[in-house]
Copies of this chain bind each other. A is one copy, B any other.
């Protein structure tokens, strides 16, 4: 249960997370390196921030996977976002005092807390970093929009394919994907709560994707067998992730499968 102010390991994640969408100078990277991080491990299923909380710090994900969700009166859980290392899932709390949803861990994870005050200072002193943070919340918003579109207009099969594409591309962008797939250590129940489908129907749709030889998904690793096919199945266009050109073109050109980078 280490809870010291660690001046090192998490900063790389933070910087990579921001650099996938924004340009940073050396000086700015150094400023970020100096941010105080309080590292903590969280257990699977643990709630990191509660609905209605008024946090005074943000949570940077270092390792593992988090989700943002809301429990409805009927007892159902609605997942509104998945988060991967490098993300700051509750960055919005910087300017929206009250949490309108909860943040929790889907698997054992490591997070780092950054005081609001520190982030606000940095954002004010270094407008470019401020812009990057703002931009980061805007990409988050763009992902929400895409989910709205998916839930409103796409059938189950396509919805799931789209989500797989999204997670794959996001992970590639921070360099934590493998050449042939990525870790997706969530349950089908989680997937269903995120796509608005029952677990049963989620299961059947995943099987369809397997049957179409687009993916394999075992022991938490999702292997992409046919990237072009999966993209097509999901109607996926990465524009909305607003990655920097380089990352984006890389993934466009990538052809089907094969264990080559």
Contacts and interface: CB of A to CB of B under 8 A. Distances in A.
B92 A141 contact: yes
A240 interface: yes
Contacts of A78: 148-149, 152-153
Given A141-B137, A153-B196, A240 B100 contact: yes
B239 A72 contact: no
Interface in A90-137: 92, 95-98, 100-101, 124, 127, 130-131, 134-135, 137
Interface string A59-99: 00000000010101110101011000000000010011110
Interface footprint category on A? 35 or more
A202 interface: no
A96 B140 contact: no
Contacts of A52: 239
A252 B242 CA distance: 39
A101 B147 CA distance: 13
A195 interface: yes
A256 to B, nearest CB: 21
Given A134-B137, A141-B140, A149 B96 contact: no
A153 B100 contact: no
Q: Nearest 9 A-B pairs (CB), nearest first?
A: A152-B196, A144-B144, A151-B151, A141-B141, A100-B240, A95-B135, A78-B149, A92-B138, A80-B145
